Amino acid sequence: QAAGQAPEPEMVSRATQAGIGLATGVLVYGAALGGLFSLVFAYAYGRLGSLGPRGTSALLALLGFLAVIVVPGLKYPANPPAVGNPETIAYRTELFFIMIVVSIAAMVAAVGLAQRLWTRLGAWNAS
């Protein structure tokens, strides 16, 4: 703000952001993530060997956690050394999302390859 000017009024107060705004964000994010998980589960159920519904959902949750959280987080941590450089924010964000896509694609390819090798080599050697 320029010197001598009054601050702009808040459009949404901090209390609203921390209360109803946070609850709305968590609910929308949870519903979206649950919807995506249910679509992936509906596709994968019966295609991942002889796993039941509980085993399939546990395996999908583990694979999703590894592909979407762990691998991109190891390559591009939340607080990298250049975090204070505003010129690299867009570039680092782009690289982070590319890493998520590459990680998911690699996970899908690895599961597909393991399924093909499973019949020839057995479960232990295919993994």
- Is the distance from CB of 114 to CB of 127 less than 8 angstroms? yes
pTM, full prediction: 0.72
Per DSSP, the residues of 60-95 read HHHHHHIIIIIHHHHHS-SS-TTTT-GGGHHHHHHH
Which of 89, 37, 73, 77 lies closest to 58 in space, CA to CA?
37
Express each pLDDT in 63-113 by its tens digit. 999 999 999 988 887 776 666 777 878 888 898 899 999 999 999 999 889
Express each pLDDT in 40-68 by its tens digit. 999 999 888 788 999 999 999 999 999 99
SS (H, E, C) 2-24: CCCCCCCCCCCCHHHHHHHHHHH
